[in-house]
Structure 1
Amino acid sequence: MEWLSPSCLPIVVLLMHCSLCLAVTVTTTRHKVEVHEFADAELSCQFNTERENNPRIEWKKKGQDVSFVYYDGHFKGPFEGRATIQGATVTLRRVTQKDAGEYRCEISAPLDSVSLAETNITLRVLVPPHTPHCEIPSSAVTGSVVQLRCRDHQSIPPATYSWYKNNQQLPPPRNANASYLIDKHNGMLEFKAVSKDDSGQYRCLASNGVGSPKMCDGNHMSIEDVSVVAVVAAVVVCLLLVAVASGVMLLHRNGFFSRHRGRSNVNYVPPPQEPQDFKHTQSFML
């Protein structure tokens, strides 16, 4: 057996030293936790120390700023009185959307060679659909483009939408030539060119797999043909307005509306006549 060269001795010493290194370790059973709104959420945190018998346990929540959840043996801020801890595992009671976010469990063990370890847990709070807001026109003209809208801004995960006409679900369009389009993600129902057959009671259903789906009250949409008499009357009115406007412009251009046209001099006073003797301008013949 050959002796190790002197250059290898530092490496051997380092390996022997590291084999004796004692470090605190932190683990979790679930890095992502999903619970329904107003349910309890368990944030798992387990730790192991080699020398330290009294490690310091801290929980923090990340946001715009890092805030304490559990520090110095007590819960802080909005978690005070509505959270419990067992070991290092925290349970939050009746969580809301304000509780959703990323949490960090930190274990500090000063007597261990590596004295600090942590693990991160993301809490997602699921919210069932609320009654969606629907925009359904009460009337439209045949051949026009009509859009019906449906939206619920509070559901988590975001809701998907389906439309009903006269209590019958409208099937998804099979091809691009269909008379209507449905976007289940943004809740829009669009008719490319409505016909009288599209008249009916329309409602929208929002669902996201959390809780019960919700439907808006809906509205009746009537599709009417274009009135020929109304169109002709509108055209005649437009032509009359154009004719009147053209006539006014022509008169104005010819000076008809000049400020001094036709104005009489009401202040004019004829000069006085001087008295003159009567003179015969014609001789009389006897």
Structure 2
Amino acid sequence: MAVTNKTIVPQAWHGLCILLIIVPILVNAAVKSCACKYCGDVTYCHQMGHNIVPIGLPARNVKRLHLYGNNIKALYGGDFRDMTRLEMLVLNNNSIRSVDVDAFTGLSKLQSLHLEYNEIEFLAESTLRHLTSIKNLFLDHNRLSTFPGDISYLDRLEKLTLDGNNIKSIFWPSFIQLDQIKSLTLWENPLKCDCNTQELARWFATTSSGRAITSTSSTRVCTSKNNCTSPKIVSVEHVRNDDTLTENVYIVNERAVLHCNVTGSPPPLVVWQTKTAGFVYPYKDGRIAAFPNGTLVVSKLAKTDTGTYVCHAQRTASSDSDMMKTILFVTDGVKPQAIPKRSKVETNVGGKIKLSCDVTGLPKPATLWQFVDGEKSFTAKNVTDERMSIQEDPSTLIITKVSEDDSGEWRCVAWNSQGSAFGSIEVKINVSGLNDVTVIIIGACAGMILLVVVAVVAAIAFTMRKRQRRHRNEAKKNGTMKSTHENHAAVVEWTRENDEKRETNREKKEKGEQLTIKKPKRDTRTKNEQDRTERFELPQPYEHQPDVKGFRL
């Protein structure tokens, strides 16, 4: 189907008519949604009875925001979020008592801040530090009791009003970095007339032209004499959190903190002279930063930072000063190493294990013991198991009364600013059997018992044998004596008979008579009976040869 121009033209006119109707409606709705009298680059929300900073402000476009004359009691973090183009913020004549530390975060282009005629009692540190472009700061007629320390860092500040507060003292070097300051009002503050206030007035009087303290004819002049003393440096210290290195040796990329202890009334201004940044005054942020209490912080140390650092303590008069030097040395670090003394430890249930690990590194590494299988970690400060104890140099883990659950991989973990490392030790706990100590004890006890038994048996055997020998000797002695007497008598009788027969035969021979010889009787016993008789009935041999006349045995 062909489309002609006659059909297109009426449709275009209809669309244009709809836009002409809708656009005014949208614009009117947008205007009505603004919570202020007027919303735009310059937004007016003054004297509208707001209790808080209105929600829905044109954050990205507003350059000037007027909120004076309302009933705002507090400023919260995020009240001015995304107002990156804001140059002027007017909050005077409200009832503001508290200001959140993040209330002005992101307002890097803000040049004028009006907080006068409120009820502010205190501004926390870093509340104003974000205002890097601020030129005009109005804090007069509040209830401030202390000088806001962040003001000293606002190096673009040209006008500052602090009159009508309750400030009693202002550290005299507080304005040392405010090179652009042209007007400062301090009247109607109960400033003490002391050495510090006198030095503050002296400093303003001796600074370059263009700076002045705005005053009225009714301003009280501090002229009383005080016991002011000259500045003196007591010591320069390296502030360290550990003792891993010597006092003045640092590792690359670490942070060095030096502190200059000074005395004097009023407290002197402390300026550090460094190798890489020259003279460093307080109230200046950066990699090398000095603080009014005499502390110098050098972050992200490099080898080029090695050198002599001089602490200068001075007052307004350059001749009234003191100085002291210290040396800072920066070196490369060494990654840690953790080397176990034994790669495997084995014992039995109920025994004791000792795991040791040699740890090296610069700076000195911190250590912990980790049970990989049990997903547990232990340090010397957080050991909760009564069976465990951790020692240092070398790192040693001692576990008593071990159980089967202690079996697995144990790690000695070491770390420092250069990295981390670990060493593994395999622990094996035998469920059955006895440990080495128990085996030794049982073996020793068994050996002692065996020795006692052998000694007792030997003593009994010796006693019995001795007793048997004594009884045998007594029996033998009695039997032998009896046999000897009987045999001796028989021999004597037999000898006498033979002598008589021999004498008879001799007499008969002389007379010619026939000799009578008595034949022995025939033994009718068997051979066995004869042997048995000889074995059992024959008299015992003589123990001693008898003295018998006429015979030789």
Instruction: Please confirm whether the aligned pair reaches a TM-score higher than 0.5, indicating the same fold.
Output: no
Task: Decide which structure has the larger Cα Rg and report it.
Answer: 2
TM-score tier by shorter-chain length is: 0.3 to 0.5
Larger relative CO (CA 8 A, sep 6+): 1 or 2?
Answer: 1
Query: TM-score under structure 1 normalisation?
Result: 0.41
| Greater fraction helix | 2
